[in-house]
């Protein structure tokens, strides 16, 4: 589960961290991460299905999903974004430029400061829980007394749940710190596998809740502290189990020099603070935009707009999290190392190969997700024949989000490269532009399109920002990859186009939205589409081989 990419013997006298991962080790790492993330996401889908089965797409589900989203947002503002942007590059820089002993003194100082900040934030967050819920629901328009009472009940349930979820901020922080330390040691697998336990625990909690409250409503749950405690404490218990399962990998990762060390004057702490200032800025504006999007979703109306958007976003993230995140996690330490050693040629080559891998997977995934969004959501969340209006809204939101899957993935990859180059100021301006476009488009589109307009605004913002980011890197680095690096993408695009045509035709042969006919519609379109993709890719590859005899073909 934790492949050690430094298993190859280093040159005499070279620190372990300076040795670049061999290609076979990199592929093994990506494979392990992708497998772990795929299973994690599969259990995540089961978790969403359990959540819809137990709470539906309803005001109660909105209260739960809102309360469960806020800890992630608070964690990102306080530490998450800064950690991802600075910890790995700074740790690697210290390990490559100083002795092992001095490097771990600096790493210990950074980790100690991070833990203290997490603890303080968790305490403050607990006190501010009611104000946060009020802020997120501030755009909800109340027209009469009954609506006012309903909104008050929803706020009460969300606040109680949020207080149970507050410890997640501290636990998420520990998980991210542990993941950064493992990445520095070129151990990538465990952080991708342990979320499976979190999902399994939450599924168990939700199914247990279903036996306690077979037909839960916002009002009934608000009158039962025990039911709220089961939902709240059970969900947080999943994050706790996830962290505990990461501990064995941390123990094996040669972190014996890590100590509790309070030293705000340490060079690494100062570097993190300098780089983190811009990162903190773009994290704040990113979370402010997310706050606006969720608050705007509340104003759309309906029985569960926030849940519809949350579920669509979760399914949209699956292909990105399974493949793109795995590639980025494996490539980022190499980018940071090449930047630290001023090896620009190696940096460009590694960036290009990583970008090609991301595009090769996200292009067909985006096409398939757009065409199958509505029937797939009807099948997965509608139980074949229930909640047709809510699942239609969720499916439409997913379709609009899928238009930005490639842009979102490329944007995140560009930001990783900028962070490895210590150019967090540039990342800040890219994020600012993305969020301004997102919010502006949402205001324009929410009126005519509703929830789908909010989702489309996300796609537009990330796609424009991705193009801007690539142009910026090209301006600094020149070619973003070795010669011929992106040639295989022509085959990918052609195969994706044929796949999309087949999926569209097969899916539209039936308009079924329920029962066995819906199952046949989704599975038939997916299977035949995949076959068309693979067949077209094979034909194009064979044609290219004939046209260029004797030359090695790009894989």
User: What pLDDT, in 10s, does the model give residues 415-439?
Assistant: 989 988 888 789 889 989 999 999 9
What spatial distance separates the first Cα and last Cα of the chain, rounded to whole Å?
A: 26
Largest CA distance in the chain: 79
pTM over 0.85: no
Token pair listed for 311: 């579920």
Residue 134: strand, helix, or coil: helix
C-alpha–C-alpha distance, residues 316 and 86, integer Å = 27
Question: HSE on the CB side for 299, CA within 13 Å?
Answer: 17
Residue 216: strand, helix, or coil: coil
Average pLDDT in the 492-502 region? 94
Token pair listed for 91: 């740790």
Question: HSE on the CB side for 106, CA within 13 Å?
Answer: 24
At 498-547, the pLDDT tens digits run 999 999 999 888 777 777 888 899 999 999 999 999 999 888 877 766 65
The dihedrals phi and psi of 11, each to the nearest 5 degrees, come to -60, 155
At 503-515, the pLDDT tens digits run 999 988 877 777 7
Partners of 4 in the β-ladder: 187
How many degrees, rounded to 5, is the angle at CA 444 between CA 439 and CA 450?
95
C-alpha–C-alpha distance, residues 122 and 252, integer Å = 29
At 255-302, the pLDDT tens digits run 778 888 898 888 888 888 877 777 677 777 877 888 888 888 877 766
Among 153-157, 180-184, 193-197, the minimum mean pLDDT is found in 180-184
At 45-94, the pLDDT tens digits run 899 889 988 988 888 998 999 999 888 877 776 666 666 567 777 887 78
Give the DSSP H/E element, type plus range, for residue 299. Answer: helix 267-300
Average model confidence (pLDDT) across the chain = 82
* 66: DSSP letter: H
C-alpha–C-alpha distance, residues 411 and 417, integer Å = 10
- Do residues 385 and 525 make contact, with C-beta atoms less than 8 angstroms apart? no
SS (H, E, C) 151-184: HHHHHHHHHHHHHHHCHHHHHHHHHHHHHHHHHH
Residue 160 has pLDDT above 60, yes or no: yes
What pLDDT, on a 0 to 100 scale, did the predictor assign at position 255? 78
Q: Where are the domains of the chain?
A: 16-486
What pLDDT, on a 0 to 100 scale, did the predictor assign at position 424? 79
Closest CA to 71 of 173, 177, 209, 151: 173
Average pLDDT in the 5-25 region? 37
What pLDDT, on a 0 to 100 scale, did the predictor assign at position 137? 82
Residue 201 has pLDDT above 90, yes or no: yes
């Amino acid at each position: 589960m934790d492949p050690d990419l430094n298993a190859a013997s280093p040159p005499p006298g070279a620190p372990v961290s300076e040795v670049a991962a061999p290609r076979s080790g990199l592929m093994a790492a990506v494979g392990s991460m992708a497998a772990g993330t795929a299973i994690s996401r599969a259990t995540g889908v089961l978790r969403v299905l359990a959540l819809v089965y137990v709470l539906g797409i309803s005001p109660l589900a909105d209260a739960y999903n809102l309360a469960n989203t806020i800890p992630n947002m608070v964690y990102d503002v306080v530490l998450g974004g800064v950690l991802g942007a600075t910890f790995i590059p700074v740790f690697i820089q210290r390990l490559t430029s100083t002795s092992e002993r001095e490097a771990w003194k600096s790493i210990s100082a950074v980790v100690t400061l991070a833990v203290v900040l997490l603890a303080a934030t968790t305490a403050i967050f607990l006190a501010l829980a009611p104000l946060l819920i009020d802020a997120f629901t501030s755009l909800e328009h109340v027209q009469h007394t009954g609506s006012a009472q309903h909104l008050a009940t929803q706020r009460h349930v969300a606040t109680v749940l949020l207080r149970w979820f507050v410890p997640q901020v501290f636990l998420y922080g520990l998980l991210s710190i542990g993941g950064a330390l493992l990445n520095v040691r070129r151990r990538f697998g465990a952080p991708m596998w342990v979320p499976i336990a979190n999902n399994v625990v939450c599924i168990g909690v939700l199914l247990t809740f279903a036996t306690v409250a077979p037909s839960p409503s916002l009002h009934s749950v608000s009158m039962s502290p025990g039911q709220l405690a089961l939902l709240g404490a059970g969900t947080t218990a999943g994050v706790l189990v996830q962290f505990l399962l990461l501990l064995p990998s941390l123990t094996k990762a040669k972190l014996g020099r890590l100590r509790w060390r309070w030293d705000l004057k340490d060079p690494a702490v100062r570097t993190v603070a300098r780089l983190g200032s811009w990162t903190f800025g773009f994290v704040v504006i990113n979370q402010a935009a997310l706050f606006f999007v969720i608050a705007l979703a509340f104003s759309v109306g309906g029985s569960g707009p926030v849940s519809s958007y949350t579920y669509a976003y979760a399914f949209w993230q699956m292909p990105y999290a399974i493949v793109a995140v795995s590639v980025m996690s494996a490539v980022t330490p190499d980018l940071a190392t090449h930047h630290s050693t001023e090896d620009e040629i190696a940096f460009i080559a590694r960036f290009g190969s990583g970008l090609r891998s991301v595009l090769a997977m996200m292009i067909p995934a985006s096409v398939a997700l757009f065409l199958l969004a509505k029937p797939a959501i009807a099948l997965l969340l509608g139980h074949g024949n229930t909640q047709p209006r809510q699942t239609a809204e969720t499916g439409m939101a997913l379709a609009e989000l899928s238009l930005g899957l490639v842009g979102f993935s490329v944007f995140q990859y560009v930001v990783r490269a900028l962070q490895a180059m210590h150019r967090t100021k540039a990342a800040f301006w890219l994020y600012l532009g993305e969020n301004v476009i997102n919010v502006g488009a949402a205001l324009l589109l929410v009126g005519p399109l509703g929830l789908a307009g909010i989702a489309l605004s996300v796609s537009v913002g990330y796609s424009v920002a991705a193009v801007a980011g690539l142009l910026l890197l090209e301006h600094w680095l020149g070619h973003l990859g070795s010669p011929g690096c992106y040639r295989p993408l022509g085959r990918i695009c052609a195969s994706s186009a044929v796949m999309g045509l087949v999926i569209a035709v097969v899916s539209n042969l039936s308009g079924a939205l329920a029962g066995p006919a819906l199952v046949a519609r989704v599975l038939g379109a997916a299977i035949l589409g995949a076959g068309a993709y693979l067949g077209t890719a094979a034909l194009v590859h064979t044609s290219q081989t004939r046209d260029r005899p004797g030359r090695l073909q790009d894989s």
